[in-house]
Amino acid sequence: MLGWAAPAAGQGTPGWVRFVAGAVSSVLVHEAGHVTAAAVLGGSPSVGFDHARPVIYSGLDAALDPHAQFVFSASGMSVQLLLNEVLLAWPDEAGELAGPFERGVLAGGIGTVVFYFTVGRNASVSDVQQMAQYSGLSKWTLAGIFGGVAVAEALRMVTRERYGPHFFVMPGPARTVRVGVSY
């Protein structure tokens, strides 16, 4: 079932549950990218809290190796957007629409980029703040790099038959517009 509604008895998990599971999976891939990068770079990744918000710490000494800290900070969004690219490059079966889980993964990747370049941009442990601090690149330059990839992916989603013409926006009743995800 591709829709948000509850399925008939015996038809499986509702579409909205699968969509949310895809989005959560995308965020977990993001965090796994950080953990993997830290481990590969010789850090000791750990989970901690910053103002009651869970955070992955690299265990790297950023003063000794700012490049490694930059790679750690960039790895989350990079891996997440790479996952989106794999999904977008996967061959389509003729006439097959993407399911809610796949749509959730794609929306999660783009949503993370939007989050980090809006409300999550200036926190002390923000990936964008850390990348800017340890690379010499401005937050605007980083927004252009990661945002450009996300925009290209979004354009590919809305122009591919697999995702339908209403992945993000669709007409609503009485001359209104609904923004979100449609199945």
Predicted confidence (pLDDT) per residue in 87-109, tens digit: 998 887 776 778 889 999 999 99
Q: Does residue 55 belong to any structural domain of this protein?
A: yes
Q: Distance between the two ends of the chain, CA-based, in angstroms?
A: 9
Count of other CB atoms within 10 angstroms of residue 104: 25
Q: Does residue 3 belong to any structural domain of this protein?
A: no
Q: Does residue 7 belong to any structural domain of this protein?
A: no
Is a pLDDT exceeding 60 seen at residue 172?
no
Q: Does residue 40 belong to any structural domain of this protein?
A: yes
Q: In sequence order, what are the residues at sequence separation of 6 or more whose Cβ sits closer than 8 angstroms to the Cβ of residue 46? A: 56, 57, 59
Q: Does residue 10 belong to any structural domain of this protein?
A: no
Cα separation, 75 vs 79, in Å, equals 6
Is a pLDDT exceeding 70 seen at residue 6?
no
Q: Domain residues for 63?
A: 15-179
Check residue 11 and give its pLDDT.
63
> Domain tally for the chain?
1
* Burial of residue 172, with CB atoms counted within 10 A of its CB: 0-12 exposed, 13-18 middle, 19 or more buried: exposed
Q: Does residue 67 belong to any structural domain of this protein?
A: yes
Q: Does residue 158 belong to any structural domain of this protein?
A: yes
Q: What is the pTM of this model?
A: 0.82
When computed from its CA atoms, the radius of gyration of the chain, rounded to whole angstroms, is 18
Q: Does residue 1 belong to any structural domain of this protein?
A: no
pLDDT band of residue 158 (cuts 50, 70, 90) is confident
The residues facing 179 across adjacent strands are 169
What average pLDDT does the structure give for the chain?
Answer: 85
- Work out whether the CA dihedral 31, 37, 39, 44 comes out positive or negative: negative
Check residue 51 and give its pLDDT.
84
Cα separation, 125 vs 46, in Å, equals 14
